[in-house]
Chain A
Amino acid sequence: MSTTQKAQVVLRLQGVTKRFGPVTANENVSFDLHRGEVIALLGENGAGKTTLMNILFGQYTADAGSVELFGVPLPPGAPRAALDAGVGMVHQHFTLADNLAVWENIVLGVDHLTAPSLKPREVKARIRDLSQRFHLKVDPDARVGQLTVGERQRVEILKALYRDARILILDEPTAVLTPQEAEALFATLREAIASGLAVIFISHKLHEVMSISHRVIVLRHGKLVAERATDTTNREELAALMVGAEVSAPTIAASPPGAPLLSLRAVSTPDQGAAPGLKALDLDLCAGQITGLAGVSGNGQAALSDLLSGLIRPANGEMQLHGTTPHRWSPRTAIANGIARIPEDRHKTGTIADFDLTENAILETYATRFSRRGWMNWPKARAFAESLIKTYDVRCPGPDIRIRLLSGGNMQKLILGRVLEEAPDIILANQPVRGLDIGAVNYVHSMLAQARDRGAAVLLISEDLDEIMRLSDVTHVISEGRLSPAFARGTMRPEELGSWMAGHGFDSHGITPGGPDAA
Chain B
Amino acid sequence: MDLLDILLSASFWAAAIRIASPLIFATLGELICERAGVLNLGIEGIMVAGAFAGWIAVWAGLPLWGGVAVAMLTGMMLGLVHSILSVPFGLSQHVVGIGLTLLATSLTFYTYRVVLPEVSSPPKITAFQPYEIPLLADLPLVGPALFSQTPLTYAGFILAALTALVLYRTPLGLAVRAAGENPSAVAAQGLSVTAIRMGAVIVGSGFMAVGGAFLTLSAFDSFFFDMVNGRGWICIALVVFGAWRPGKAVLGAILFAAFDALQIRLQQTGIGAVVPYQVFLMLPYFLSILALVVMSRRAEVPAALMVPFNKGER
Chain A residues close to B by CB (< 8 Å): 54, 58-60, 79-81, 83-84, 89, 91, 93, 95-100, 104-105, 107-118, 120, 404-405
Contact = CB atoms under 8 A, between A and B. Distances in A.
Nearest to B188: A95
Interface in B149-200: 169-172, 174-175, 177-178, 181-182, 184-191
Given A97-B177, A97-B303, A99-B300, A91 B171 contact: no
Given A96-B182, A118-B169, A80 B190 contact: yes
A97 B178 contact: yes
Nearest to A109: B189
B300 to A, nearest CB: 5
B206 interface: no
Contact of B312 (A59, A105, A109, A405): A59
A140 to B, nearest CB: 14
10 contacts: A91-B188, A93-B184, A95-B188, A98-B182, A105-B178, A110-B171, A112-B171, A114-B172, A115-B170, A117-B170
Given A58-B190, A404-B314, A95 B184 contact: yes
Contacts of A110: 171
A59 B189 CA distance: 11
Closest 5 CB pairs of A and B: A109-B189, A80-B190, A97-B181, A79-B190, A95-B188
A83 B189 contact: yes
B184 A108 contact: no
B113 interface: no
Nearest to A408: B314
Contact of B170 (A81, A96, A116): A116
A393 B239 CA distance: 50
DSSP majority for the A interface?
loop
Most chain B CB neighbours (cut-off 10 Å) among A54, A80, A81? A80
Contacts of A111: 171
A107 B177 CA distance: 13
Given A79-B187, A114-B172, 6 more contacts: A93-B184, A95-B184, A99-B303, A100-B181, A109-B189, A118-B174
A89 B188 contact: yes
Nearest to A119: B169
Contacts of A58: 190
Output the residue of B170, B186, B302 with the most chain A CB within 10 A.
Answer: B170
Contacts of B302: 99
A113 B303 contact: no
A229 B191 CA distance: 37
A108 B312 CA distance: 20
B185 A105 contact: yes
B187 A98 contact: no
A98 B303 contact: yes
Contacts of B191: 109, 113
A305 to B, nearest CB: 24
Contacts of A112: 171
Contacts of A100: 174, 177-178, 181
Contacts of B300: 99
B34 to A, nearest CB: 13
Contacts of A404: 314
B181 A99 contact: yes
B170 A97 contact: no
A124 to B, nearest CB: 14
Contacts of B186: 108-109
A407 to B, nearest CB: 10
A116 B162 CA distance: 12
Given A100-B178, A108-B186, A59 B311 contact: yes
A130 B168 CA distance: 24
A97 B312 contact: no
Contacts of A83: 189-190
Given A107-B171, A110-B171, A115-B171, A96 B185 contact: yes
B185 A95 contact: yes
A99 B303 CA distance: 8
Contact of B174 (A89, A104, A114): A104
Given A109-B186, A404-B314, A98 B171 contact: no
B282 to A, nearest CB: 35
